[in-house]
Amino acid sequence: MTIKLDGKQTAADIKAHLAERVARLKEQGIEPGLGTLLVGHDAGSVKYVAGKHADCAEIGIRSIKHELPEDATFDDIAAVVRDMNADPACTGYIVQLPLPKGIDENAIIDLIDPAKDADGMHPYNLGELVLHVKGDITTPLPCTPRGVIELLGAYDIDLNGKEVCVLGRGITIGRTIGLMLTRRAVNATVTLCHTGTKDVADHMRRADVIVAAMGSAGFVKPDMIKDGAILLDVGVSRVFDEEAGRWRVKGDVDKACYDKAYAYSPNPGGVGPMTRAMLLANVVEMAERQLGR
């Protein structure tokens, strides 16, 4: 019987545990705070940021909201970033991407205090991830790759020695998840496929686990996977449903693959909720480090 990797329920369990940790921190005089900077009014970004603050309220974390208009300059954005770096109430924060056209996103990310990098995407933190193949990591981890690994762990799926095929080389997951999967604690073998890869399906058929993060709706078909594969669907596409007359979110994995798989994460409802939960986990862990834990 195929296992559905329920990200919603797993994230709810994680948030319940985080709420207990937040309560203990408050008893010791520390209140974690998540900051967000939203530039412009992109509908997807507005909804995503609102969800993050709803999560904060759920587990007792302070919300610190910053918003700038679409025509904000680099200096305007940089000034808010520096304010959050200096704000002791802000334990960790994110700059919501994408930023308006013409703004150098990498230069803005470089300005973030690595110790407050709730997304785990600052070059310093990624460098720490590269360096620490063994042992514990005490810097924030990229949220989506961490969410994938935590979701598999919640279902006792061991990746030790597994062949993992990652589809897509975006920085949010494609390029970063390999760093986490190949750490000694996880011990998987990773193949990263992208638009320059010849015969992607051949790589997929050899894989025990497929992490699809292309943003290509329904790309992964049943004939591309082996029996008993584990499917993590991270891709997000908006597809118009003619029958329903509205837009829907659709993942990279065709649902026809589910019967052939050992386990799969639905999309939506799989890795997405886990990403948000890992953002909270990063903030709580940052606060706990203030106690020298």
Which residues are annotated as part of the binding site for NADP(+)? 168-170, 236
3-class DSSP assignment, residue 133: coil
Q: From the candidates 52, 116, 162, 250, which is the catalytic residue?
A: 52
Q: List the binding residues.
A: 168-170, 236
Name the catalytic one among 96, 162, 208, 250: 96
What is d(CA 252, CA 267) in angstroms, rounded to the nearest whole number?
8
Give the active site residue among 6, 55, 119, 252. Answer: 119
| Angle, CA 41 vertex, CA 38 and CA 8 arms, to 5° | 70
CA distance 231 to 221: 11
Alpha-carbon distance 107 to 100, whole Å?
A: 14
Residue 9 designated active-site: no
With H, G, I as helix, E, B as strand and everything else as coil, classify residue 99. Answer: coil
Residue 265: both structure tokens together:
């994460």
Q: Write out the DSSP string of 193-212.
A: E-TT-S-HHHHHHH-SEEEE
* Phi, psi angle pair for 209, to nearest 5°: -135, 135
290 is catalytic: no
Q: Is 119 a catalytic residue?
A: yes
Residues recognised as catalytic = 52, 96, 119
